[in-house]
A and B are shown apart, each in its own frame.
Chain A
């Protein structure tokens, strides 16, 4: 468990990209990646929630371990994530109503984004310390944003091309994701 912060970041960002290599957070990945303008804010919001969730989960885990209540971990984490999402929702609604409307149903759905809970669970399972946890959360969020942006750019391009009508929709998105994932396999081993 002596990974340096840089290694953790690279691993979460590229080599073990949360979306394309670990299959976390696929619902928004397929759902919101239609347009580039919504992909970036979605990535930023998710990254922020990840960071908050990671910080809270770190503190909470110490507390639970102190009281020998580890079996409550999952329930406690999910409640914390739900509150963090609620917070982001209120801030966005106040300061950027247009963006709030554009993200629509996918904003509250960050609660059920497995990438966020994944960050909290993995950092606990790997026994990361405080700095490692924060780096991990930021790296994972950046990786999620990167995957979302890439996918959105490709899909914007694809709108102009002639695709057989049977393949349109989710099937095509999945094929694209497969090819992207194949490309990301080239990063394997980068984080050491």
Chain B
């Protein structure tokens, strides 16, 4: 319990900054919508004139950009990137920082098992992640609702935010597993971020190139895509199960390897 509280306290400041950041992202993102929609031109026409690859890179896909919900769908990928980067870095550093800051000779000589330390730290990370998710969710409902002009957006926001939570948790354990596996865990954070960007680029590549579609199982960014989940699409149960399996496996890796490993002291 004391470790959990300590971890919450030491991540409080960074969490506040992340939350402010994501709130500003929602606000500024949706502000573009008013800017563009009030110009009179149909946004859809504007974007469909773009080359296909550019559309894909911007994440436009099949969204109806004349609607607030469509614009939110476009914005979602950026919220998702923020959420997952936050989660991956958090998962990696929450374990690795004891070794990085050389405080392991303090914490790990206390009468607690490594298992309990990992549990407390992961719970603190999950708490941070849930708070980040809720802040994003509430900001989205408030801000998108303002532009919705009667269009029902809350349901779509809800489903995408639950999808985002799945991915946040997945990237958190990717990060923690890396710091458990690496002998020199100082670089765990940057490696986790690297993997995240790689899988993101892969997800864009898949959109660009139909022939590598089979790789969609490799990149979590294909698991919960706004264009598939919104407008009644819902979750793809296969991807949900896959996420849960990966989450469980990587959590197990975190525990098993971090318990067995020599600490860097």
Note whether A and B form a binding pair.
no
* Interface, chain A (partner B; CB < 8 A): none
* Interface, chain B (partner A; CB < 8 A): none
